[in-house]
Chains A and B, each alone.
Chain A
Amino acid sequence: MTAFLHQVVELLNQAALISTEEKLIVLKQVQELIINKDPSLLDNFLDEIIAFQTDKSIEVRKFVIGFIEEACKRDNELLLRLIANLNMLMRDESVNVVKKAILTLTQLYKVALQWLVRIKSVSDMQEACWDMMTQIKEDVLALLDSDNDGVRTHAIKFTESLIITLSPRTPDSDTPKKQEGDISLDKIPKDHTYIRYDTLCEEGKSALEQLLKFMVHPAISSINLTTALGSLATLARQRPMFMSEVVQAYETLHANLPPTLAKSQVSSVRKNLKLHLVSVLKHPSSVDFQGQISTLLLDLGMSQSEISRCTPATVQPRKRLHHEPYVEGKRIKMDAPLAEDDEDKEEPAPVVTPKPSSSVGTQSAIDLTAEFLLPLLTPDNVANLVLISMVYLPEVMPASFQATYTPVESAGTDAQIKHLARLMATQMTGAGLGPGESSSKDPLIIRKLSAVSLGQAISVVGAPAAYKSPITEEAPQIKKLPEPILPTSQAPGASGRKKVFKLADVVQPFSEAQIEKLSNMAIKRILLSEKVIAQSGMSHVRVKLLARLVTQFEGGKKNDLLQFILEDMRGRSELAFSLLYHEYNEYLSQQPSGSLDSYEHCLYTLLSGLQEKPEQRDGLFTKLVLEAPVITDSALEVIQRYCEDESRVYLGMSTLKELILKRPSRQYQYLNVLLNLSSHEKEKVRSTALSFIKRMYEKEHLKDCIEKFALTYMQFLVHPNPPSLLFGAGEDTGSETLDLSQFSIQLIRFMVASPWTEETAIADIKRSVLRVIEQPIRGMGMSSPDLLLLVENCPKGAETLVTRCLHILTDKVPPSPELVERVRDLYHKRVPDVRFLIPVINGLEKNEVIQALPKLIKLNPIVVKEVFNRLLGTQHSEGSSSMSPLTPGELLIALHNIDSSKCDMKSIIKATNLCFGEKNVYTSEVLAVVMQQLMEQTPLPILLMRTVIQSLTMYPRLAGFVMNILARLILKQVWKYPKVWEGFVKCCQRTKPQSYNVLLQLPPPQLASVFERCPEMREPLLQHVHSFTPHQQAHIPASIMAVLEANSRKPEPEPQPELHHPEIIEEREVF
């Protein structure tokens, strides 16, 4: 014995100094020594051990509690000393210590009660001890409302044990062997001096009530629920008197699984429910409830055969009253075997509708209400109920519903209607409604169910339950009272759902309108704080905040913010961008189902705002477009509108161009906008678009698209009824579409390939084409291979077009050798239309021009004029004359040399007239050279003298030169060329008196011929000779003199002039 003493002292001394783990080992050794080996030492060392209750190790403190338990069990008297310590440890800061204390209290409560019951006269100390025990018991019950899940779990188990202790054990109680000796209410003497049977009985009932209330809390955790389910099963088995309450609680729970449970928790809870139901079913006293329990088990997925296996093999009819309804239930089951087969899981066509006869005391409010409801469930009523409850359906399907739902296959059968009636009765009773509720005799059940109250019923559909009852908020104070809760009090109803503090339980939610208003005001304040925040340098935070907030709201606030931004877009651009990005982010976060609507609205509003405000600086528009994450269709429309604004067309299109180049994913869409603008009704828009398209066309990957567009429009041209879009709304019909630029070569290609001919195309369009083609063709230049190809292949019917192209090309610049080559080929080999040559005429060889001349001058006078302009370089442009293959002189000479069989004289004369019309070109010098050369030709050109006379008319000072010409003509026997001779005479006539000397050089017959034509010339000439000096006269041959004087001797009749060439006659009139 002393050995133990020393050992304990030694160990305790060690324990003060060593680490926690070793300390525990040592203390356990001490406990073993002083409790089991030598209990006489217990008293000695009690204080030393208890001193460790303040140890900083949780494990050590838990050990102390365990020690208290063991010590008190060993020596009940120690309760007097240790109960206070236990009370203190109950309030330990560590939940693990508290939990251990609760476990110990569960044991010691029974120990204390048993101990006191044995004592006949209770001392003050013992009374105080019991009072404290009662107090602690209440405290633990209150811990059902603890914040800590584990503490609540322990409190539930304590409550279970308490209920068993404070209720009578009956013969059908299923008591575990180890608890055979435990105290229970039936062992409490009713005449005890201090322990009052009635009080304990009430306390027990109250505890059960609290447990049942706890169970129906809508936000109960799954573990607490599991624990409570187990406790109920234990209660039902150990105290079959509570079977009815337990089964009802199970029914209620099954129909109202807490909406807060996750899906897998629902599975866990259902599994537990099944397990416990089976254990209850196995108890013999379950007979009265086998119907309900079977229904539940069927619902939980157990097969009928399994259920039968768990049902206690029948059934000594302990009480006939109980037996009867059971048989009835069985019979109904047999009646509907088919339904069983159909549904082995959910909502079994409820076969088993328990109908406890009214003589059974356990008939509950639910049964009564169900009977009441049954006849009311007509199809009409049910349909109305369904319609009404649609309104209350939650937005999200609660997990509990999802887990339990299967389609009702046996809808409309009697069995199903009965089941439905019962389900509804459960709900109605829960809500405190229905005939069963008002007539129920059991006050406990009424209270429990009223606790469920309206909120619980509504929680079925997932609505927030706690908001309904204002009583809820007053609950805490009432709850704190240590006294057992009075049965009539309303407070317990509320306390049932105060397990965990939830903000939602104590505050009223705002109405939608209030929420809306408050949030609007909040955002407005942030909006208006712009300047203040800017001064503090935290603008970026404000911007971010606004964008984030507003993105989460619908409608109104967004528009407010957008409006706010647009009021000063420049100053608030950061906000605009931030908002835009947030919207886009929101869209991304909702992928793949997200909608761009909100983002689109934001972008659209911002862009339209900018577009509609003329005074805005435009860089912002471009920036917004280029930095927006996505350009939506509506945004693109705004951009298009922007481009259509004549004052911003360039900027708009630059932006569009950037988009095309920098957003490859949708560039074709952007490009299309630009293309469409190329046929816009406004000239400026059109031309700007074209110049941009031209630039775009340089990008390889865009070429195709542009070409296709052009071709599409081109195809309209050959359409018998060109679509109206071709014409636009503009003034010059049809031309818009053709304002195509660089890519118009494709147009040409198309023309080459298509049946586009002058016959098929509508005249209007043809004209338009010819007119508008100028700009693009000029842009292409004559080196364009495609154009050259066109010229080479000139399709039939397209001559006008080709000619037009050639004209445009050579209008300002001399033709390139390549072009000339193509045209020459075309002319010689395929289409001998001289008009082709005109544009390139300056590129031809001299002889080619000369060859073509006869044909050229036969053309329309206007065309001829143009030809001459080209050849003579009298066009508006400079420098081209130097390119002419013919000098003006050569041209004129060529004209004279045209073979009259190839061209009528009239045309030639007109052509020469054109030359003479160009006084600047045909100077007297040029004409002199021409005359000189013409004169030297043999034979003499027919028009020679005409030209001489023309020249003389234009330049009278050429008279001397002309005399010289005339003289030399005589040497060439000019009289041999009748027409020239005629002109010669005429010229002499005009140039008298200078021509007298020339006339005198004529041989006499020719002179006579002159006089025949112009008799009036003779006298002046004769006088002229007479005025000569004698010496001079001597040089005049006598024959001449004879001709001169012939008339004076014998006047001869004037011979008829020869028949002249009609043209010459005509020309004579012109002279």
Chain B
Amino acid sequence: MSCVSHVSLSLHSKRGFDVRSFGTGTHVKLPGPAPDKPNIYDFKTTYEQMYNDLVRKDKELYTQNGILHMLDRNKRIKTRPERFQSCKEQFDLVITCEERVYDQVLEDLNSREQESLQPVHVINVDIQDNHEEATLGAFLICELCQCIQHTDDMENEMDELLQEFEEKSQRPFLHTVCFY
């Protein structure tokens, strides 16, 4: 199972899932002092480095908006962010939190040469990239994953499950299947 979203690894909070998080952009973007001045790093930068960089730039601001806290947690999970397109492992399920990201994932998966024909389901749940929405969304996705986990036959029950969630959460879900 894999979650593709921004660097926010808040979805990591769910235990008991075999989860990996990825970014899909060309860079890692973190909020900056203004909306048009994000902090941009490449995927080689470690969380540790980002953390130190931000502490140096404006410790108070980044403590207040929670970015430092997030990076601190992330660095304990893994050393640096990963880019989905660069990951060659196979997953059963990819969840994205933004339609743009969903499109990128689909494009990437479809551009790969098919080999094993192992299916991978891709689901998009639109979540605004802010702390509150991310937390709400995290619960929603966590619940979704738990439900999927409990299905006897994920592929067969997925459609119905998503319809249910859609109705419950009042958000439209995008869902498709790709093949490795």
Contact = CB atoms under 8 A, between A and B. Distances in A.
A265 B173 CA distance: 8
A150 B155 contact: yes
Interface of A: 95-96, 99, 103, 106, 148-151, 153-154, 157-158, 161, 176-179, 221-223, 226-227, 230, 234, 262-265, 267-268, 271-272, 275-276, 279
B177 A223 contact: yes
7 contacts: A103-B116, A150-B154, A150-B155, A157-B117, A223-B159, A234-B114, A264-B162
Given A234-B114, A279-B110, 17 more contacts: A148-B155, A149-B155, A151-B156, A153-B177, A154-B117, A161-B117, A177-B113, A178-B115, A221-B159, A222-B175, A264-B172, A264-B174, A265-B159, A267-B174, A268-B175, A271-B174, A275-B110
Contacts of B174: 264, 267-268, 271
A233 to B, nearest CB: 8
A223 B155 contact: yes
Interface in B67-99: none
A150 B153 contact: yes
A226 B120 CA distance: 12
A96 B107 contact: no
A223 B160 CA distance: 11
Contacts of A221: 159
Nearest to B112: A176
Nearest to A231: B179
Closest 7 CB pairs of A and B: A150-B155, A176-B113, A264-B172, A149-B156, A157-B117, A268-B174, A226-B176
Given A103-B118, A223-B158, A230 B110 contact: yes
B178 interface: yes
Contacts of A153: 119, 155, 177
Listed residue (A96, A161, A265) with the most chain B CB atoms within 10 angstroms of its CB: A265
Interface string B109-135: 010011111110100000000000000
B156 A148 contact: yes
A263 B170 CA distance: 12
B156 A157 contact: no
Contacts of A103: 116-118
A156 B84 CA distance: 27
Given A103-B118, A149-B155, A267-B174, A157 B179 contact: yes
B172 A223 contact: no
A265 B175 CA distance: 7
B166 interface: yes
Interface residues of B, number: 29
A149 B162 CA distance: 14
B159 A149 contact: yes
A504 to B, nearest CB: 18
Interface of B: 103, 106-107, 110, 113-119, 121, 153-156, 158-159, 162-163, 166, 172-179
Contacts of A226: 176-177
Contacts of A157: 117, 119, 179
Contacts of B103: 271
A690 B29 CA distance: 84
A153 B154 CA distance: 12
A957 B96 CA distance: 133
Contacts of B116: 103
Contacts of A227: 119, 177, 179
Contacts of B113: 176-179
A179 B113 CA distance: 9
Given A223-B176, A263-B172, A95 B106 contact: no
A158 B117 CA distance: 9
Contacts of A264: 162, 166, 172-175
Nearest to A161: B117
Contacts of A149: 155-156, 158-159
Contacts of A275: 106-107, 110
A860 to B, nearest CB: 90
A634 B68 CA distance: 70
A648 to B, nearest CB: 53
A223 B179 contact: no
A39 to B, nearest CB: 22
Contacts of B106: 271-272, 275
B124 to A, nearest CB: 9
Contacts of B173: 264
Nearest to A158: B117
Given A96-B153, A153-B155, A222-B159, A106 B175 contact: no
B177 A95 contact: no
B176 A150 contact: no
B160 to A, nearest CB: 10
Nearest to B159: A221
Contacts of B176: 223, 226, 268, 271-272
Contacts of A276: 110
B95 to A, nearest CB: 14
A275 B176 CA distance: 12
Given A161-B117, A262-B163, A268-B176, A148 B110 contact: no
A262 B113 CA distance: 31
B74 to A, nearest CB: 29
Contacts of A179: 113
Given A148-B153, A149-B156, A262-B163, A176 B114 contact: yes
Contacts of A148: 153, 155-156
